[in-house]
Chain A
């Protein structure tokens, strides 16, 4: 047959293949196993029976315990994300706008914490927020209080720990999009009559939204999936959805239930990512820049 049709360009396919293989082997196949496992039946500790039954899913949908864990995880993720965005914007703005010659040093400082184990960084809060911790010591010494304040092993300490661990991701994302903004835009707005705050709100803030959005999504998803921080810094009732999975798999040795919960978390966080990029779309935002 004569070659009349334009030949299909194979290069995109070739370039995408490694990613497809990796995602299939490392995500799709394992998650399929987990989905299949969620239909098995747990007979005794660590003893599962191969089956196709909906007992685990029924438990998930009917038990309020799971529902409240989902709502709680959602609530804490939102609060942590919002606080991280607010707390992260200032340092990101400072690093991006500073005329300090050795900016790389500031960025290095941001990455420095990653050299210390995340567990150790989390544990360090006990020395700060604990009954004998630095803050209570200070409050007692200043006479602000007679009794140590109960700050550790609460929802508060969990949020503090989560913000602490995830803040660098937020700062880096915001920093990158601030760094990409033309330095003359704010001065341009100023000469046209905007006060410094108005110039920031009208120009810099909207132009840094892509970074803010990306950082927020990242922090939200990371918080939604975390379980070590609540384990270390939380009290008995300060668990996230991830802790339920941990309990099911490690403590109760009930793998089918653990699989059910894992798949649920994946679907929940996956939907957030999809909805987010669909409506607040990262690519949507980038359109404004041509």
Chain B
């Protein structure tokens, strides 16, 4: 177990700069997620930590020691690949014990550890099978077992759930998190799935185009996105330009087109700074549509439903307010609104956040 620190790390492939100067810290024992769209450099960072890729610049520290020049096989890391990379010609027991034989563990102890690892991933009794005889989810657990059995200093997971189907994915998400919790290993998890990141992480590092956009706890990143990119990447958001009308002791009052004046807690304006203009982030799931007149004491306006995307228990509405199209994700209570319906659009100021205009 160890703290991982990347200092001014960069990576170029020829003329392409896959990772720009970044400082990142993965705290000891924490579960940190690298989140970002495809091609933003998440795997590259993971591969640099594991030693499979050499940084172009900067330092990698594990447990305070610079390891740039330590070869892969001496780093003591557990890496789980996106496609699991189990050895097809070896049994499950041999797969899991693979790393043990380079650590001088004798046969009997190794067998014991294999059994324990299989218990941890809740798949006892498959020692003698071959990887091809297991399902995707089971292979994923074996890959996990193979990585944790060597008691790595750091566990690196590269989209380990992306090859699984939706149901199994949610199940494995809980499982994975609980395994990590039990063994308490510093974990770096890579994903482009925001709900995975929000559900599992102690800390999320949002990346875009090889740069770190924001670092924070899930609630922080979700509630207070530091940039338009982050606001849009973590769920659908409506973003409108607003003027700052006034500031109180710990409040900010904004003038929002169509909705009028709203007052936010200063907590929700940390990314606004001293700016006089900003961007208001309204989460699609925090914008409520209501029948008839606006309820008393709420901030609301009138709009027309332009399109409905029915999703079972949820519906995504596209609502026109003046010249602007807004998105609203609402639980369906009774019958969903139909296209063309006139509705009230209700905004709860506590659910909004604001960031400076240039971000």
**Once bound together, how far apart are the Cα atoms of A275 and B52, in whole Å?**
42
B73 on the interface (CB 8 Å rule)?
Answer: yes
The listed residue with most B CB atoms (<10 A of its CB), out of A184, A206, A207, A289, is A184
CB contact under 8 A between A288 and B89, given known A191-B75, A191-B78? yes
A86 on the interface (CB 8 Å rule)?
Answer: no
Asked if B133 contacts A188 (CB within 8 A), the reply is no
**In the complex, which residues 13-71 of chain B have their Cβ closer than 8 Å to any Cβ of chain A?**
50-52, 71
CB contact under 8 A between A289 and B88, given known A184-B81, A188-B81? yes
Asked if A192 contacts B146 (CB within 8 A), the reply is yes
B83 on the interface (CB 8 Å rule)?
Answer: yes
Report the nearest A residue to B47, measured CB to CB. A187
A32 on the interface (CB 8 Å rule)?
Answer: no
Q: How large is the interface on B (under 10, 10 to 19, 20 to 34, 35 or more residues)?
A: 20 to 34
**Once bound together, how far apart are the Cα atoms of A289 and B88, in whole Å?**
6
B14 to chain A, nearest CB (A): 11
Residues of B within 8 A of A290 (CB): 88, 130-133
**Once bound together, how far apart are the Cα atoms of A191 and B130, in whole Å?**
21
CB contact under 8 A between A288 and B99, given known A182-B83, A191-B75, A192-B146? no
**Once bound together, how far apart are the Cα atoms of A206 and B133, in whole Å?**
19
Q: Mark B122-135, 1 if CB is under 8 A from A, else 0.
A: 00000000111100
Residues of B within 8 A of A192 (CB): 73, 98-99, 102, 146, 150
Return the contact of A193 from the options B52, B89, B131, B150 (Cβ within 8 A): B150
**In the complex, which residues 170-206 of chain A have their Cβ closer than 8 Å to any Cβ of chain B?**
182, 184-185, 187-195, 198, 202-203, 206
CB contact under 8 A between A195 and B73, given known A289-B132, A290-B130? yes
Residues of A within 8 A of B76 (CB): 193
B164 to chain A, nearest CB (A): 17
Main secondary structure of the interface of A (DSSP, over half): helix
A29 to chain B, nearest CB (A): 42
The listed residue with most A CB atoms (<10 A of its CB), out of B79, B85, B103, B146, is B85
Residues of A within 8 A of B150 (CB): 192-193
Report the nearest B residue to A285, measured CB to CB. B89
Report the nearest A residue to B80, measured CB to CB. A188
A163 to chain B, nearest CB (A): 29
B228 on the interface (CB 8 Å rule)?
Answer: no
**Once bound together, how far apart are the Cα atoms of A257 and B102, in whole Å?**
61
B143 to chain A, nearest CB (A): 9
**Once bound together, how far apart are the Cα atoms of A185 and B146, in whole Å?**
13
**Once bound together, how far apart are the Cα atoms of A282 and B169, in whole Å?**
38
**Once bound together, how far apart are the Cα atoms of A193 and B72, in whole Å?**
7
Residues of B within 8 A of A193 (CB): 73-74, 76, 99, 102-103, 150
**Once bound together, how far apart are the Cα atoms of A277 and B88, in whole Å?**
21
Report the nearest A residue to B102, measured CB to CB. A193
CB contact under 8 A between A185 and B73, given known A191-B50, A193-B150, A290-B130? no
Return the contact of A289 from the options B51, B73, B74, B89 (Cβ within 8 A): B89
**Once bound together, how far apart are the Cα atoms of A10 and B290, in whole Å?**
67
B229 on the interface (CB 8 Å rule)?
Answer: no
20 pairs of residues in contact across A and B, judged by CB atoms under 8 Å:
A182-B83, A182-B85, A184-B83, A185-B85, A187-B81, A188-B87, A189-B98, A190-B51, A190-B52, A190-B72, A191-B50, A191-B72, A191-B75, A192-B73, A195-B71, A198-B102, A203-B87, A288-B130, A289-B88, A290-B131
For the complex of A and B, 8 pairs with smallest distance between CB atoms? A290-B132, A193-B102, A192-B99, A184-B85, A188-B85, A191-B79, A190-B72, A288-B89
